[in-house]
Amino acid sequence: MSNILKLDEHINKNPLYEQIADTIEQAIIEQGSLAERLPSEMDLAKEFGVSRTIIREALKILKARGLVDVRVGGGAYITKPEASDVSKLILRIVHIDRIKDEEVYAIRLILETAAIREAARRVTPLELEKLAEQVDSMEKNMYNLDVRIEKDCEFHCMIGRLSGNELLALLVESMTGVLKKFIIDGIRVSGGNEDGIYRHRLILDALHTGDPDFAENVMRDHLVHSWENVLNQRALESLATDGEPVMPQ
């Protein structure tokens, strides 16, 4: 990770902080060395022949790109951008473009039905057991909504990973992250918790059969049903706030 060579002198129209950010990014990506620490800001400044100010600005960019984690008094450590970074970016776009949550949910449906098709083909007995444990854990925490939601999301992410496609797994996890913030604020996934557990067991059973078409249908039913729950909950809330108080007592 030392030996960060010179800047691209050809494309030097950009400001220094950006050139340096790009150069370090290239080094991080190509060297592929993870969990390593970057040289200190002073050393980087000397190495690139620029002021520490420039290095600091470049590090902020790399941090925003999810490539480094800057710790006070510690140093800058290389990190991998992950699903949460994708979630944040998409969330920003969704908010700014006022994208309706139905559209977000539709994407979830597309990705997760595709994922479970592959998962049904590839899943092993051991992995099925892990999934079963996850559902058990959901059941145990049925009345602790925060934990239950967390387990629920993890179950879906596991299926994403079982697809065998790393990028699909990432996107499933990213959309889950987007919807988590989307839905949890205000809308507590309404009643039907036992029903929720039951329907997750149905997904598990479908995976057991190994039939992609069947598994896809079960997943689709589950997601559609979940979305209807959200809509119902939302309708109830708007009744309670917009209209007359429900229990005027």
Partner DNA sequence: GGAAATTTGTGCGTATGTATC
Partner DNA sequence: AGATACATACGCACAAATTTC
Shortest Å distance, C-beta 31 to a second copy: 10
Shortest Å distance, C-beta 2 to DNA: 12
Smaller CB separation from a second copy, 91 or 203:
91
Site for DNA in 211-240 (CB under 7 A): none
**Sequence-separated (6 or more) residues with CB below 8 Å from residue 208:** 128
Tokens at 176, concatenated: 């889950």
Q: Does position 53 bind DNA by CB under 7 A?
A: yes
Q: Does position 62 bind DNA by CB under 7 A?
A: no
Q: Which does 90 bind (CB under 5 to 8 A by kind): DNA, a second copy, none?
A: a second copy
Q: Does position 76 bind DNA by CB under 7 A?
A: yes
DSSP summary character for residue 66: T
| Selected binder of DNA within 26, 34, 71, 102 (CB under 7 A) | 71
- E-only strand ranges, the chain: 68-71, 75-78
Query: Given the rule CB under 8 A, which of 152-160, 163-171, 207-215, 236-244 is the region that contacts a second copy?
Result: 163-171
Place of tokens 């449906």: 109
Distances (CA, A) of 18 to 22, 68, 238: 6, 15, 47
**Sequence-separated (6 or more) residues with CB below 8 Å from residue 232:** 190
Q: Which does 38 bind (CB under 5 to 8 A by kind): a second copy, DNA, none?
A: DNA
**Residue 153 to residue 133: CA distance in whole angstroms:** 14
Tokens at 177, concatenated: 């992250």
User: Residue 67's closest CA among 31, 98, 101?
Assistant: 31
Smaller CB separation from a second copy, 37 or 92:
92
Residues near a second copy (CB under 8 A) are 15, 17, 21, 25, 28-29, 32, 53, 56-58, 60-61, 63-67, 72, 80-82, 85-86, 89-90, 92-99, 103-104, 106-107, 110-111, 114, 165-168, 170-171
